[in-house]
Each structure stands twice: as C-alpha cells, then as structure tokens.
Amino acid sequence: PGDYQAALLGVASVPSVASKRWVYRQYDHMVRLGSLLLPGSDAAVVRMPTGPGSWKYLAASTDCNAHYCYLNPRRGALIAVAECVRNLAMTGAEPLALTDNLNFANPHNPERFWELAECVDGLAEGCRFFGIPVTGGNVSLYNQNPKGAIEPTPTVGVVGLIEEEAHVTPSCFQAAGDAVLLIGGWGWEIAGTVYARELHRQHHGDCPQLDLENELNLHRAVRALIRAGLCRSAHDLSEGGFGLAALEACIAQPTGLGASLGADLRLPDHQRLDVTLFNESQSRAIVTVPAGQEAAALQVVFSQGIGGEHVGHVTTAQEGLTLRAGETTLQWSVAELEEAWGKALGRLMQGEAAQDC
C-alpha cells in the first residue's frame, strides 16, 4: 500500500471484521447478570449454577471464513473448527461440543455439491482431531440467485468449559506496562486475506495452511499460561492478521468505552511490512503477561511445543498504537482505531437506512 496508516484503518473498517457492537447493543446481553465476558471478546463466557454457591463457566464462540472455503472448501471448513476452538482457548476453556449451520448453493450443480461434500469432510476431520461431538445443526441449500451462488459457509458454534472463574481471560489489553508476547510466529500467507481481497481486489490462490498438532499446541500453551496465573489477556490472530489483532486488543471490550489502552510493538524487518501486518497464517495469538514475567511465560509456551517471543508492551491510551519495523514507525491514536473499527458497521447501517427511507 502507498499508505500503511490508512491500510490498517481500511482493513479494520471492513464489515466482516469490524466491531459488531451495533448489532449486539440492540438487545439486553446482561439478562440475569450471568455474563462474565460480554460480546466483543474472542468468546462469550456465562456462569452456570451447579449447586448452592458453586458455579461452572461456559464459553461459546461461532466461526466461519467463507472466503477460505471458496478457495479450499475442505481446509476452509477445518479452519472454521480450529478457529472456533482457538477462540475458546483464549478465554481459558476446553471444548465440549459443536453445532453447525451449513449454508450452500444448489447441490444439483456438481461443483456446488462438491463444495458441500468437501466442507463436511473438513468439519468431520476437525471434530475427530479435537475430540468434539457434533450435537446438532441445520442445513440451508439453494442459496443463490441469477448473479451466482453464495460462497460455501459451514458456520460452526462450539461451547467449552472453564473450571475456575479466575481463569476467565479477556481478549483486550488490561494494564499499561504489561509485556506483549506473540505465540506461533509472524506468518507469511497473504492469499485469501482481508487485505488482499478488500484493498487489492485479489481473491484467488489458496487459503492458509493448517497444522493441527501446532494448532493444539497453541491452545495448550495459552491455557497453561492462564492456569499458571501469568496471562492477563489473550487474543488470537485470524482475519486481518497481526495488525488487526493489535488494534482490537487496544479497544476496551465489550462496549468500546472505558479503559482502552495503547501498545508499542516491534515487528521484524525480514519480509514486506504488509505481509507481516496482514497475513493470516493460522495457529497464532498475542497474549499479555505482567512486566518482568516474560521469561517465565515463554518457558511455559516452549514447554508446549510452540514458539513465542516478546514483541513489546502495553501503553496508555494517550500514547496510542505504535508499530516499529526497522526504520519504519507507524502510529495511530486510540480515537482513530475506534472510529475505523468500532463505528464502521454503525455508519454503514445508518447509511443504508437513510437510502431505504
């Protein structure tokens, strides 16, 4: 891109990745005060009574990247399962069960039926690997019109269990001064990304690779950090890559009000900056740990068979988000991040409502 400052804000404002605050503020998500993590985090967490004064904590997430499934139906569906379980792991949860919502075009068309069959095989592979039963689901077919078919969209929802309330972990930064760790590496795969599709109008190639063992190692590493009391926040890298994940972690969840924070992060200079910022290689996360605990946290990560590194620290909201790569320094204020990511969907819906009127 000619302007990296604008590129990150442009990716952040794409409706599929921007904050869904406009939607979830339409209903009361605080009914009976059972929610511990409200909408906007990697997964929602609610408490369930198990007896007088005792509780268990259920985490839930839904996921699917139809653009991945368009490029590679089987792997795209497998990634949907992996990302959903990954989101649960970021909150401290172990997966329990999965339900699906399979949205496809006309199955009498051999190519569309092939997409359906490949996606189902991908879902089955993911469920077998993670040991998750499919407890229900539904199928919606013939989703097309004279202009063409929808992209294959095998949406999945997974529910998981967190044994202790102390292990419930948010996705946004918690305190200035905390160290930021990147687990799983910097990645490199740019095909099929929001960046390639929305900023460069390129939607071809293959979707990211997925190593299931590496993915499971990531989940175990994050849960181990949480259970060791070292993890203040955890946020997976998915659509939008490292750049978007860093932006999202700066904005206070779930409302976007209150204690938003900034970050000062170092990026490598061994590859193109746009690839570093926006690639969507799988099995990665950014976590924060108390200052001075970086070495101990990394030892926990390494013990689970996955790599990690210290990439910077959390700052105040007044300092905003700073990304440094070699001699290049990029900076955004928290207000810019909030305007691009937090308000994009509301602006779009208000514009369409005005057109309807």
User: According to the model, what pLDDT value does residue 119 have?
Assistant: 98
User: According to the model, what pLDDT value does residue 242 have?
Assistant: 98
Provide the 10 A C-beta neighbour count for residue 327: 6
User: According to the model, what pLDDT value does residue 49 have?
Assistant: 86
User: According to the model, what pLDDT value does residue 354 have?
Assistant: 53
User: According to the model, what pLDDT value does residue 252 have?
Assistant: 81
**Quick check: 332 and 8 in contact, CB under 8 A?**
yes
pTM of this prediction exceeds 0.85: yes
User: According to the model, what pLDDT value does residue 257 have?
Assistant: 42
CA dihedral defined by 198, 143, 83, 156, rounded to 10 degrees? Answer: 160
**Quick check: 82 and 126 in contact, CB under 8 A?**
yes
Which are the contacts of 213, defined by CB distance < 8 A and separation ≥ 6?
none
User: According to the model, what pLDDT value does residue 50 have?
Assistant: 86
User: According to the model, what pLDDT value does residue 277 have?
Assistant: 98
Residues in the chain with pLDDT values less than 70: 29-33, 253-258, 352-357
User: According to the model, what pLDDT value does residue 25 have?
Assistant: 81
